[in-house]
Amino acid sequence: MLAFLILVVSLAALLLAADLLIRGAVAVASSMRISPLLIGLTIVAFGTSAPELVISVQAAWAGVPGIALGNIVGSNIANILLVLGVPAVFAPIATSQVGLKRNLTIMLVATAIFMAMCFTGSLDFIDGAILFALIIAFIAYSGIAAANRRKADPVIAELTDVESVGHVPQKRLTMIGYIIAGLAGLPLASHFLVESAADIAVLLGVDES
């Protein structure tokens, strides 16, 4: 029960830390008059994935790769089957938006590359470098495409909608405080989350992934 409690508390702390980091970073970037497009493609895009990123990094360092892989594979399965599936049960979801087919194709290609790498038996430095280079290339491509496209692209529009982040601090000291709290909270919460998840896997006799 203690391991489950630590898991739940760590998850909540992880989400809170990521939220604080995003709000603080967006506030600082906005105060420096950085383009909303650049803020969306970097701070918002990476910030929303920060919980999964720090969990996988922590799991890899802790020697529990099953949690690192299961975290990503599981979240993508849940995003497609649960996050899209449940809303579709209650109301139709249009799939004719501009840019959707392009991004679906990129998603499928990225998934195929990831699967091919996993079938080699391990993900090493070269694999990581290739995957990281691909996300940088995608961000650059999205930015260029958004700047040149006349038709509204809902994917880009969502990324550049800085207001969707919610209330951001206005005072510089508060901005810095948010960022520090986020940067400190993410690795700390991920550490306890990974440790508790590994303990639960051992107690239940199941694979970490």
Tell me if 30 sits within 8 A of 168, measured CB to CB. Answer: yes
pTM of the model: 0.72
pLDDT tens per residue across span 159-191 = 666 666 667 788 888 888 988 998 888 889 998
Nearest to 68 by CA among 84, 52, 92, 44: 52
pLDDT tens per residue across span 69-106 = 998 998 899 989 998 999 999 999 888 877 788 888 99
Which helix or strand (DSSP H or E) is residue 76 part of? Answer: helix 65-78
Question: How does residue 31 score in pLDDT terms, banded at 50, 70 and 90?
Answer: confident
Nearest to 43 by CA among 9, 15, 19: 19
Backbone angles phi, psi at 166, to 5 degrees: 100, -165
Tell me if 10 sits within 8 A of 193, measured CB to CB. Answer: yes
Query: What is the C-alpha to C-alpha distance for residues 64 and 124, in angstroms, rounded to an integer?
Result: 15
Query: What is the C-alpha to C-alpha distance for residues 65 and 58, in angstroms, rounded to an integer?
Result: 9
C-alpha of 47 from chain center: 6
